[in-house]
Chain A
Amino acid sequence: MKKRTVLIYIILILLLALLVIININAGSVRLSLAEIFKILFLNKGEMVNSTILLNIRIPRIIVAIFLGGGLALSGYLLQAFFSNPIAGPFVLGISSGAKFIVAILMVISCQYAFSLNSFSLIVAAFIGAMIATLFVIVMANKVKNMSILIVCGVMTGYICSAATELIVSFADDSNIVNLHNWSMGTFSSVSWKEVYVIIPVIIFGLIVSIFLSKNIEAYAYGEDYASSVGINVKNFRLLLILVSSLLSATVTAFAGPISFVGIAVPHVIRNLFKTSKPFIIITGSFLGGAVFCLFCDLLARNLFAPVELSISTITAIFGAPVVISMLLSRKRG
């Protein structure tokens, strides 16, 4: 491996570690390092602090890491699928599609008072994501122009969001707040129960992606070329879209739609590593997504504390300019 590659991996890991520490520490309740140490390793300390740390902050950090990584990875897979660096689950409306179905499920569950488990959330989000994805694929076959495809995706997102709003209007008042928060995107309100679901699903997606990296590399040179070196392109594309949808659906199911991570992170990672090797981009994006989301979550929680901003607001502030600069620097549509 090249020196540069190793160096950037190390920097990313250090950044991640640093952010984890800051995130643990930061919040309305300041915890000193000594106290954290005590709670974590000696099982001592104040009851309240221990609860805050173990049941709120640490799960939230883990969720931010895995969902952030998963989201960036999902974006990269979509980019590979569409051979378009501006593709991502949010701009293509896939996140919003997932949101829509999850919202329906949530409203129904409130109405009929049954509780939702993580699994059914993921399934609902996955269904929504797949519906939106299929729609985008149909459009992609019609319009070859990348920018127009993105516009179509954004419009799809708006339609789904509008429909979601409509459903929310019919929900009971008491549920609206919760639903509203979720639909803006947030890492709050996660517990260990969800962490146990999120980690295996995202890790699964990551491993499958790594195994696909050789195919992704050949596919980057065109569908015809990929099939000429012996790739079953149809199966490969199907797998790619399934994994990508699974990842973005999982993120949406637990944190709501989070914007621009899927596009901005792989792009920045590609430019940092100065390579297009799928293996490096996949792992790098995963780390980068984790770092980025941890950072954004940190800001979301602390910027206007005690008011918590939606995570999407922060990711958009950092992510959207990256996407705009990409659009501007592209020579052709």
Chain B
Amino acid sequence: MKNPLNTKEKSEERMSPSPKESPKGLNRREFLASCAFVGGAGYLALRSAQMLPELSGLTVAGPDGAFPEYILAKPESVIYTTCLQCHVDCQVKAKHWDGVLAKLTGNPYSPQNYLPHLPYGTKLETSAKADGKLCAKGQAGIQTYADPYRVRKVLKRAGPRGSNKWQSISFDQFIKEVVEGGKLFKSLGDNRSYPGFAEVYALRDRSVAKAMAADAKKVGKGTLSLAEFKKRHAAHLDKLIDPDHPDLGPKNNGFVFQAGRIEHGRKEFLKRFVHDSFGSVNAYEHTTICEQSHHIAFSEITGHKTHHMKPDLLKTEFVLFWGTGAFSANFGLTPMSERVTTGTVERGLKTAVVDPRMSNDAAKADFWLPVKPGADGALAFAFMRWMFEHNRFDAKFLSNANRAAATADREPSYTNATHLVVIEEGRPARLLKASDLGIGKDDQGVVMKNGKPLAFSAEDKSHPVEGDLFVDTTLKGIQVKTPLTILREEAMSRSWDEYESITGISLNLLEPVVRELTSHGKKAAIDMYRGPVQHTDGFYAGASVITLNVLIGNLDWAGGLSKGGGHWHESGGKPGSAYNMSKLHPAKFAKFGPKITREKARYEDFSLFREKGYPAKRQWYPFTSNVYQEIIPSFAMGYPYPGKILMTHKGTPVLASPAGNKMIEMLRDPERVPLFIASDIVIGETSMYADYILPDLSYLERWGTPHVTPDVTTKTSKVRQPAAIPLTEEVEIDGERMPICLETFVIAVAKKLNLPGFGKDGFGPGMHLDRMEDWYLKLIANLAAGDKPGEVVPDASEEELRIFRAARAFLPKSMFSEERWKKAVKPELWKKVVYVLNRGGRFVPAGGAHDGPYMKSKLGTMIHLFMEDVAAQKNSMSGENFAGVPTFRGQFDTSGKPLDRDGKYPFALITYKEPFGGQSRTISNYWANIALKNENHILMHKRDAAKLGLRNGQKVRLVSALNPKGRFRINEERVLDLVAPLETVEGIRPGTVGVSWHYGHWAYGSCDVEVDGQRVRGDKRRAAGLCPNAVMDVDPIVQDVCLTDPVGGSAVYFDTMVSVEPA
């Protein structure tokens, strides 16, 4: 059968091998039935006689003769690239045989995949034989790449959106249609005119944009009248989304680019296109779907110095995994597992896990705290109560009020724990200034020292100031407290009984854990990730957990909390860099207006606020970014402005967001979402609703320069490079041949619209951007050149150059041409680039993580237990200020009102990941996602199931207040039932229901689709199980989007109450 998705290759006969027929010509069943040995004697005798010499030859073969050289052990069979089955971005060794991607293992040069990793100079012959580690899903990546359901040509819908009917069209036709717009679906009887990029790219003049941007901002803030604005820009008002609200920006903002997973290298390429060349503010990633509130908590607590810290697992003596772990997801199981297991077995590391479910981490831990979902913040305060009651916190560290005091104690960081905070109307409002008391300047703070106020400067390097830890007093009529006092008050405000009733954790369970946490000096740490933060109070729960780390003073200490080893800067701009990528743009656009998600924007800075006041129509998010779940609902509602072109890329908000099914109706309606283009490798759960699907290359066929996360404590830069034959159609743009993918699309649209920044002189005079490698190889050249002058890698030797060529000989010329690659970088850097490519990145030697008792790479900054900038902002739905100190108030709606729980749905729903799967794009992985577990279950405690009269294995339906029938519609034809078998276990907190998030696909090759009039049969194995997002609560005020943390922006996965019914 021809694969209609594969219009590039010759059709292939598919046959169903008959297992009944023996390879030896004898039917196996016949053989067994025919009196076994007797019936088969003649045949057997014959086979044995034939085979004996070979058999004996194999048996007695000596060590040197019997085994030929293993072809996959040769360096010519290896390309080092970077995984993307998850965002851990492991470095992989991709082995190919005869042009076929045959095996993926870990790259032994990388600290993520080999512990400790090989020295950077190790010969390619040696490293070829040393396979590093890679998790199950990483190794199954071959099946993500070589998926028979990959889209190879551009698909245009041949029915209403979501109908699963498609026609393949040429790339040129696609580019023409989406650029020019018009009656694109007239042949389907649809006379609607669809917008094109040419229409949305309304404001083109760079200097006009710059002038308008400055004035529009003033209109927003109320410092320039609308009339004056209109007078000044009368000739260009038609370029604005709304001339009466010029601060919403130009029509260009109508192009909204929503990436699910886009990483460094590609991310900057796309931002160059969307922001700098096209002039839209709307380019997004998916971070709020993962754990954005955790990043925002780190960011606010560290004064925006970092957004991610991890325990130093190589040195720590006690690690508490809070709503995360080292063995399933996080950052991630490949680099973290061995650091924990060898620690446990070989050096006495103790571990504890906070998780309502017996995760693989909990299974191995010394302590398990099965907390009630949503009570993480309260549990953190229970920890604090014990620490304050027993004086188990680092008082010396916390009393340091400025840099000089920290240095005197040999502490890399200090905190504002003692800095006096002004209490206004009962709330901590702002830091007390020395000038408030007339004892110092405006930019000085105040501490109490032995009961007397003392002015200080935070970054003062020569006058050490220590403050009293606990202060609650009134100075010159101003009520003041220290942040530590405010924390202690909250911690002590609940009794142990109350804590147990809220968290489900008794003092008996808690005490040994908090005792361990406070028994190892600086060598203990808490790792916190998704679990505590994907709640409506995610930011505060996260900040509370980080506060526990701060209370033991473990930041920047070996065995404590680390900001990680960092990386070389591929975007350049450092003294040693070869290219400063952000400067290599001839005419950047001064984009303006709020993002459609209203993120990183204060409601009060816009004209809409002055007209409507509180509450806003939808939440504004002053602290966070990439509020993924808000993009489509905002676009469809038209708030703060309507969108025109939605382009999704490597993301599936419908499957991945809580209540993502709410988006289906929005996406199916061309009135609300006028043009919808999806960049995807398959027809997925979101791309199935698109007008066009632009086939993309999988991560194994393309480029990238992803960054390392802080669990890796030595400096590391990664390279993703083509390691497999591209499966998409090869096309030509201005004589350049390349496979269709996101970059190809960008280059084609940019050239069609004549956007500066691409094509001829795209980087500047004489520097063209015509092909992917023109961009990516410059990034890699920056890695090779290093950040400091002279910090270069060695040249590849002639032998290494030979291996480099030989290993890539199987790639088509459109992907690999040494001559062309060479031209993309400065000649003196080419051999260095090859050296980096030959190793899949750049890595400092193992053992370089520490500096005596400290981390080598230090944060060394002031830690904010009182976050003044948070306290200063208001919730746009209530008009009330946010709290500036970590606090626990339970779960609430977007306006801050507690969620209404009527008790009809008694179980708290949690989700989790198996170690072998990703959230939404590993169902094609037969070895892992299907062979290891062919469907997911609805997990429930045995006692709960018994109470409901349900038995293990029984088919049950998941229902909630939002979805009382446990079903949802995906298109005109199909309604999906939220049904799966029940699994009753002891390893889950009673009162909790758990569902893993890998299954329940209704696209991605799981269903039949029609392409060019031909039916492509889906693989039903991919449809097994259930995705729980369609029962998840929406925000009761906005109603079209899931519950969301108003500070951190995280989508709420763990605050829905459900019930389970027999199906």
Q: Does A pair with B?
A: no
| Chain B interface (Cβ < 8 Å from any Cβ of A) | none
| Chain A interface (Cβ < 8 Å from any Cβ of B) | none
